[in-house]
Amino acid sequence: MAEKTMEFKTELSQLLHLITHSLYSHREVFLRELISNACDAIDKIRFEALTKTELLDGDSDWKILIDIDKEAKTLTISDNGIGMDEESLVHNLGTIAHSGTKAFLSRLKDEGLKDNPELIGQFGVGFYSAFMVADRVTVDSRMHGASAVQWTSDGTGSFTITEGRRESRGTTVTLHLKEDASEYLEEYTIRSIVKKFSDFVEHPVVLLTTEKDEEKGTEEKKEEQLNTRKAIWLRAKSEITSDEYNEFYKHISHDFNNPSEVIHYNAEGAIEFKALLFIPEKKPFDMIMNNDPKAHLNLYVQRVFISNEFENLLPAYLRFVKGVVDAADLPLNVSREILQENPQLDKIRRNLVSRILKTLSEMKTKNYDKYLKFYAEFGPMLKEGLQSDFENSEKIADLLLFETTATKPGEMRSLADYVESMKDGQEEIIYLAAEHRGIAENSPFLEGFKAAGKEVLFMLDPIDEFVIPRIGEYKGKKFKAANKGDVGDEETLKDEQKKFEGFLGFIKEKLSGVKEVRLSTRLKESPACLVGDEYSMSPHIEAMMRRMGQPVPEQERVLELNPSHPVVEAVQSMYEADKNDPKLSESIELLRDLAHVAEGSKVENPAAFSSRIAALMARDLGTK
């Protein structure tokens, strides 16, 4: 065959420059693309041979061979697939973005054939990723019944066609690597790339390694299979043992523990994909060391790893879930690295979220002790969904657990349990956010509710107070913070209001930073408390933000007084006796300080507070 030089049939310079410099974010994907093409070629011949066995030429030992030649600086990928003759080689490789795979499937569809092989390539540009690492690429191919033909190009504007050297059916792609791509001549680099992207492809990916016999002074080529081919998500659940699931989970999660739950299913219907998901028992090491706020599922297209960086495949609040999703028809862009926003992807996401939440609900119902362990590890993450996944907020709320005034320390109740046991006439779910249970259960804000026999939820995670107000209500019951807003009945304080009216105004004038002073029905044992507005920030959230170095806006709160407390009555009597008594001002300041202490926050002036307490002690001890 005489050598032919031909021009590419597209806007060559710009398109090849785009492919080799901009299309892919990581150069290493070239090997994934070439292996995927080789898999396609093998699948094509296997399918064709179902009706034309002579096409096999007696060769059905399917494999993809990788050979490194450091001296020649070449990397070779060869297969024993369907091969190409001169016409198909020019057609497939001479026209950029012409997809041989796409044309093949189109032909099968036109012929009315069913059970088509599910092939990877859809855009026909993956081959050209080779030019990211090679300054010259040679393709030697042979089809059944045809002569071998060779295609060569430096990716700049033209290619040559000449007689090939292959003696058997298949294709050999040889990359003459660039100077800055020498890392791909290292065996460990090739092993790691194959492990990352092509570990589960159906056909063996084999590296030809050289072993030297020092005594004989000879070298021998040996085959080392690089991929496991164990894509267990494609197998039936009945065929997979617990040990196999555990081993695979540890492989993809780098966790030493077994998973708490396995979710393995095939989605069929409007959208088809396979999913194998794992709910961990404990936070994997990578989640402890790297608090990544994104979810990372491994996305495969026909066993070929695409990426685990798709933020829109699973919402962030489910980032503790590990696993794989394998879909044949995801609309990947030409580089296969970016998923496009589309209804199909949204259906996959909704399907995954629904199945995960259903599994957690079943765990909570059927194996509560196991769920408690899960919740202790991942409850705060789950709660994030209340403010981001409004479609599933009720399902998420069903999964939440809280300690309450009716539980022992460490014991928890669901919102459904709380609502079911609410007293007749109670219309609100009462909660108190605090840094820990000790502060919460001794808070003066609970006194009135305890007296009325009403249960109060303890919200002890920092995220609680941010997300709970977002859902507003649960099963028709609104959430009410025990330390915010007015919970009193003005009629019950009618007589006291007259008695304390002037005194309350006097305190308001004396105290800065106090929005209002009023009598309280929520207090039964404590003298005073500080109450925020319905949507104000709680003291423990303020303290947390300050520890994080975040600015905290100034906000005035309401000072509530217990009119039946001896201290309040004594200070009120002091006011009635002499408004100018210097001890009166000190006593008023002390009431506010006591309110700060009771809620677990810091007093504004610790030194002054200490001095007042010392003076009181001295006077009291002096009377003994």
Residue 205: per-residue pLDDT: 97
pLDDT of 156 higher than 50: yes
CA 601 from centroid of its chain's CA atoms: 35
The whole-angstrom separation of Cα 541 and Cα 547 is 10
pLDDT one-digit tens code per residue, 7-31:
776 555 566 666 666 666 688 989 9
pLDDT at 363: 96
Structural domain 400-481, CATH architecture: 3-Layer(aba) Sandwich (3.40)
3-class SS of residue 455: coil
Contact by Cβ (8 Å): 30, 125: no
CA dihedral 453, 437, 587, 497 (to 10 degrees): -30
Per the DSSP assignment, residues forming a β-bridge with 210 are 221
Query: Could you tell me which residue, 125 or 560, shows the higher pLDDT?
Result: 560
Q: What distance in Å separates the CA atoms of residue 50 and residue 48, rounded to the nearest whole number?
A: 5
pLDDT of residue 258: 93
Token pair, residue 561, equals 């007084």
Which amino acid appears at position 135 of this protein?
D
Would you call 529 helix, strand, or coil by DSSP? strand
Domain locations in the chain?
4-225, 232-373, 400-481, 492-532+555-622
- State residue 118's pLDDT score: 57
Architecture in CATH for domain 232-373: 2-Layer Sandwich (3.30)
In this structure, are residues 502 and 508 in contact, taking their beta carbons and an 8 Å threshold? no
Q: List the end-to-end C-alpha distance of the chain, in Å, as a whole number.
A: 120
CB contact set of 404 (below 8 Å; sequence gap of 6+): 413, 418, 455, 456, 457, 458
Cβ burial of 527 (10 Å; 0-12, 13-18, 19+) is buried
* Whole-angstrom distance, CA of residue 130 vs CA of residue 188: 19
Confidence of residue 98 (pLDDT cuts 50, 70, 90): low
Residue 557 — φ and ψ, nearest 5°?
-120, 170
pLDDT in tens, 104-155: 556 656 666 555 555 555 545 678 889 989 999 999 999 999 999 999 998 8
- The region of weakest confidence among 235-239, 254-258, 332-336, 339-343 is 332-336
Burial of 449 (0-12, 13-18, 19+ CB in 10 A): buried
Query: How does pLDDT run across 202-234, given as a tens digit for each residue?
Result: 899 999 998 877 777 777 889 999 998 888 999
The hierarchical CATH code for the domain 4-225 is 3.30.565.10
The SS3 of residue 511 is coil
3-state DSSP assignment of residue 302: coil
| CATH number, domain 492-532+555-622, options 1.10.10.350, 1.20.120.790, 1.10.240.10, 3.90.79.10 | 1.20.120.790
Radius of gyration of the chain from its Cα atoms, rounded to whole angstroms:
36
pLDDT class of 343 with cuts at 50, 70, 90? confident
Q: What is the pLDDT of residue 333?
A: 53
345 vs 68, residue with greater confidence: 68
H/E stretch holding 151: strand 149-153
Instruction: Read off the pLDDT of residues 378-413 as tens digits, 9 standing for 90 and up.
Output: 999 999 999 889 999 999 999 999 999 999 998 999
- Report residue 376's pLDDT band, with 50, 70 and 90 as the boundaries: very high
